[in-house]
Structure 1
């Protein structure tokens, strides 16, 4: 009885919905921009990474990140069409059960790998001449595989427990499609994901404090020896913490109250709608991560940058040769 009371469906009033031009026009438009930009940038990044061997933990983590970003981007069309109401309402059931779960699944994989990348960058800053051993590379691959498996195990019940038959009315909120235990599991997963975020936030902040100290020590040494400071080059490492704070921090201050508004009947309709718009706005920022990660690859991965430049030079050269062959002799 208590479980049924605590996890009653919120917002059952027929007049409590978020259907208007903001949710039907603005957000689909913003996600459309992200989809086209993200698919081009990450498609190019994937092609470049195919040409790079996994010779360091850093590259292994970056390759996993680009795979995660591409999977996230592939969920955007379903959200765009569903939110814009350009397809039958039945698609909303698929969005709730599958594509939305994959979206969050890939989000937290990206957060975990950004944490690992930051740890790796700190180690590189502290010990710049240390190379990855064979055992270290194997450990990075095993750790990457474990992350994917554990996050999949955590996410799969959200698909299975979204098992109520969709109707035109219930698909307006994904919570209405979940079983009673599905609502409980959804809230449990939310707290686990919050834990993942905050642990990685602490890791990233601590690592960057240590990186800053190492850069300052290096700066002082170069001043004492009269050499040119390398600080302008090393400062690029701070792109990771910038991306993390822009994309993930705002959403995670919003997610718990929004989840409670979906799983517990504790908010008025107006509060639910406000939380919905805040959640959707900050969720778009998390999606922006898929377009910003390629900048991390370019600025921090020398092998990626070199391979990309060589690929572009080769493509330009081929086009120029093609133009010459089209000339007709007099």
Structure 2
């Protein structure tokens, strides 16, 4: 959904040539994305393996499973970006990046944002009703909602593939906007505004939910501060990992995205501003990619079933019998998922 530029490319800005020298992108960013690819594929592959062994017994787990699928799809787009940006493959691959893998990247990004919002709402509900259990009806609703999110984002994304339909040449593949038809540029800009709306709505939802969760934590602290259980509070504060991941990964990019999109679809900035926005976009885009490596920490710290299953598998292969017994006892005592405050 987002346009990208490659190195040493001249294009027209307000009737004059604007040269972008992006040698940093040919070396630094490919190395950074390679690191994310190796770490993210390992962590999310392990997470997928664990989730295959866990039944979808709660809305929370259903949303987490959808998130890990989205993250793996995002990670699989990294090699195309790495090879294209580093200019290690023929220019034809750049056309594929513009038309397919880049669209999939943004498609999965906003799916992750939507599911982080749903996960936060679920954690708030658990905070206010710690003994609430998921019914068959609520599980079905969570599955339908998850499917609807995938379908909605696919409908928004598919035209960006179809409308990137101009004939590809070694020159125009260097700037994805040049491959789009006139209506493709209009659609591209419209979808960017829709995605901005998705982000800001989820940001508001997450902030409001965490304000309310903080109030519940404080009330719980007031009730238990004289009972000699201070360690319980430090465990329950792990719930704030969701808002930390959201702000680290998604907030910087969305403050950059609208002006960058305007710089690609309209002649409203001079050459210097266009290049500055490009570097800001690429830097903050890497932070959004980092989300695929940080989400597994959410699974581990907030999902008891995931943690127990993962530690059980690791313990089975590496730990001594004594350590296995200690981990089993700890898992029985650990109820972060069941009572988050």
TM-score (norm: length of structure 2):
0.88
1:78 corresponds in structure 2 to: 80
* TM-fit CA distance, 1:316: 2.3
In structure 1, what is the equivalent of residue 166 of structure 2? 164
Deviations 1:197-227 (A, max 9, x none): 0000000000000000000000001125x24
2:39 and 2:293 in contact (8 A); partners too: yes
Contact 1:158 1:186 in 2 (8 A): yes
Residue 126 of structure 2 corresponds to residue 132 of structure 1 = no
Confirm whether residue 51 of structure 1 aligns to residue 53 of structure 2: yes
**Separation (CA, whole Å) in 2 of partners of 1:14 and 1:82:** 27
The CA distance in 2 between the partners of 1:20 and 1:64, in whole Å, is 35
Q: 1:317 offset after TM fit, Å?
A: 6.4
> Does structure 1 conserve the Cα–Cα contact (< 8 Å) formed by 2:12 and 2:18?
no
Q: Which residue of the other structure, out of 292, 298, 302, is the alignment partner of 1:290? A: 292
Q: Per-residue displacement from partner, 1:9-55 (whole Å, max 9, x unpaired)?
A: 95487852434321111111100000000000000000000000000
Contact 1:10 1:261 survives alignment (8 Å) = no
RMSD of aligned alpha carbons: 1.5
Contact 2:14-2:270 at 8 Å conserved across structures:
no
Is 1:202 aligned to residue 204 of structure 2? yes
Which stretches in structure 1 are left out of the alignment for 5+ residues? Answer: 1-8, 319-330
Q: Are the counterparts in 2 of residues 71 and 106 from structure 1 also a CA contact under 8 Å?
A: yes
Query: Which secondary structure does the structure 2 equivalent of 1:16 belong to?
Result: strand
Following superposition of structure 1 onto structure 2, how do residues 319-330 of structure 1 map, counting pairs within 5 Å? none
Q: Which residue of 1 aligns with 2:301?
A: 299
2:124 matches 1:117: no
Counterparts in 2 of 1:63-102, with a 5 A limit?
A: 63-102=65-104
Match in the other structure for 2:106: 104
1:315 is displaced (CA, Å) by: 2.5
- After the TM superposition, which of the residue ranges 22-31 and 106-115 deviates more from structure 2? 22-31
Q: Take 2:113 and 2:184, find their aligned partners in 1: how far apart are those partners? A: 24
For residues 11 and 82 of structure 1, what CA distance do their matches in structure 2 show? 24
Number of aligned positions between the proteins: 309
Structure 2: where are the runs of 5+ without partners? 1-10, 321-341
The reply on whether 1:241 has 2:243 as its aligned counterpart is yes
Residue 229 (structure 2) aligns with: 228
Q: Secondary structure at the match of 2:225?
A: helix
* 1:86 counterpart SS class: coil
Under a length normalisation based on structure 1, what TM-score does the superposition of the two structures give?
Answer: 0.91
Q: Is the 8 A contact 1:24 1:85 kept in 2?
A: yes
Greater alpha carbon shift after TM alignment, 300-309 vs 215-224: 215-224
- Report the Cα offset of residue 267 of structure 1: 1.2
Deviation, 1:189, is 0.1
Q: Residue 214 of structure 1 corresponds to which residue in structure 2?
A: 216
User: Deviation of residue 57 (structure 1)?
Assistant: 0.2
CA displacement 1:153-208 (0-9 Å, x = unmatched): 00000000000011111111100000000000000000000000000000000000
Residue 63 of structure 2: aligned partner: 61
